[in-house]
Structure 1
Amino acid sequence: MAEICLKSRAVLRTPIGPVSVTACKTGVHNINLTAATEIPGKKFAVAVTEAPDHWPGPLRKCVDWLTVYFKDAKAANQMPLPPFHRPTAKTDSFTYKVWETLTNQVQCGETVSYGQLAAMAGNDKACRAVGGAMRANQIPILMPCHRVTKSDGALGNYMAGKGNTLKKWLLEHEGAVVK
């Protein structure tokens, strides 16, 4: 019988709007972003607006990581990522391989096309599958699906097209060149 996760949630006030993080003692389950149409300036204090009575370690680590990220993305990327907990993910799947490749090989300030990421993950013909893996990503920013672009460098279809302002802000915040 599978272990039932006791999840806790924290909500942060960030430059991109509210960010909700859900985690258990094993790792981060979800990060929910809003599809912002306007992003305020970079001078913005990150604050926890909602927090659980008890913080499991991975939730505290994620909140700390995100707080640093929104102040200085490159500094955050020098920190270890909090552990993830994806109990339904199949570790032998192509989706999982794409997630691992993206997280470990595409650095802050870099972008990669869907086709390039497919090749990096071992199947250069699977760019549509990479798109599916990006849509299934439950921990954006930590697993940086915003760094995946179209082959011509255009943003693509972040958060079903509603989040392209957000994607552009995240990439510029990291120092990437954006079309």
Structure 2
Amino acid sequence: MTPGLSSMTAQEPSLGACVLESTDVHTVCGTITVTACGRGIHRLDLPLDEENSCRSSPYFEPFGKVFPKGKAKAVLMADCLSQVHEAADKVTKHPHTENYLDWCRKWLQVYSYNPKQASACPQPPLHHPIFLTDSFTRRILLALRTEIPPSHTVSYGHLAAMVAAPRAARAVGMALRRNPVPLLVPCHRVVRSDNSIGGYAGRRGIHLKRLLLQHESLSHNSF
């Protein structure tokens, strides 16, 4: 069994035949609980109420390895990236829940080291119901996932215009609040038109949004 994988499974009526399993992942913003089925990722639950967890996370020990003292950062990063690709290849051959969780965990750990490198890595597929049928929310979330890379932000209005709904800026905020997979769909990169930080998970996660933007080298004074 994958280390840290919950031995309990849950079947949610709204998700049909999806049997869900979860695991905890140590990241730059604290411990995230990742939930998946045998077809993809369903949820990433961030530690919204644990502001101090960001400072104590052991994300700097990637994949449970202890690297030799003085090992070049580039070599360490190459090793991390190769593990993400190996995890993706393994899922192609053996599409099981544990393998999707492993893939997501390794991607999150690369993101914690270097967001730009993570954006070049394959992300695990998403299988939450929001992503399975066409809707305004799905279009907004997929546009954000594919079009706004690390170290970039987008306003609510601009994101609405990207899906041909330029007057729907307020609806964008509602769509982002329904995002079940933050970081994989980077709703922290959406800010107000005046470049102020805006909300995140209502307003409970403002400290996480600020930390993630700074992690991606966007430490504007207004944040």
TM-score for both structures, normalised by structure 2: 0.71
Is 1:15 equivalent to 2:57 in the alignment? Answer: no
> 1:50-65, aligned counterparts within 5 Å?
56-65=98-107
Deviations 1:119-155 (A, max 9, x none): 0111000011110110000000000000001111111
Contact 2:33–2:46 (CA under 8 A) maintained in structure 1: yes
Gaps of 5+ in 2: 1-14, 65-95
Counterpart Cα distance in 1 of 2:100 and 2:147: 22
Shift of 1:72: 1.0
Counterpart among 37, 42, 60 of residue 45 in structure 1: 60
CA shift in 2, pair 1:42/1:174, >3 Å: farther
Q: Deviations over 1:62-90 (max 9, x none)?
A: 11100111111111111011110023546
Following the alignment from structure 1 to structure 2, what is the Cα–Cα distance between the partners of residues 22 and 12? 11
Instruction: State the secondary structure of the residue aligned to 1:8.
Output: strand
Asked whether the 8 Å contact 2:39–2:97 carries over to 1, the reply is no
For the pair 1:137 / 2:179, whether they are aligned, the reply is yes
- Specify the code of the residue in structure 2 equivalent to 1:117: L
CA shift, 1:92, in A, is 2.2
Compare relative contact order (CA 8 Å, sep 6+) and give the higher one, 1 or 2. Answer: 1
Helix, strand or coil for the counterpart of 1:22? strand
Secondary structure, counterpart of 1:7 in structure 2: strand
- Larger Rg: 1 or 2? 2
User: What secondary structure, in the 3-state scheme, does the structure 2 residue paired with 1:128 have?
Assistant: helix
Say which structure is richer in helix. 2
Evaluate the alpha carbon distance shift between residue 47 and residue 32 of structure 1 in structure 2; reply closer, same or farther with a 3 A threshold: farther
**d(CA) in 1 for partners of 2:189 and 2:118?**
16
**Corresponding residue pairs, total:** 174
Instruction: Provide the C-alpha distance between the structure 2 equivalents of 1:28 and 1:129, rounded to a whole number of angstroms.
Output: 25
Deviation at 1:15, TM superposition (A): 3.1
SS in 2 for 1:102: helix
Say which is worse superposed, 40-49 or 66-75, in terms of deviation. Answer: 40-49
Q: What fraction of aligned residue pairs are identical, expressed as a percent?
A: 37
Please, what TM-score do these two structures have when normalized by structure 1?
A: 0.88
Contact 2:31 2:57 in 1 (8 A): no
Q: How far, CA to CA, are the matches of 1:28 and 1:46 in structure 2? A: 23
Equivalent residue, structure 1, for 2:155: 113
- Separation of aligned partners in 1, 2:34 and 2:63: 11
**Distance change in 2, residues 1:16/1:120 (3 Å):** same
Superposed structure 1 runs of 4+ greater than 3 Å apart: 41-44, 46-49
> Structure 1: how far apart are the matches of 2:58 and 2:188?
21
Residue among 18, 25, 29 paired with 2:38: 25
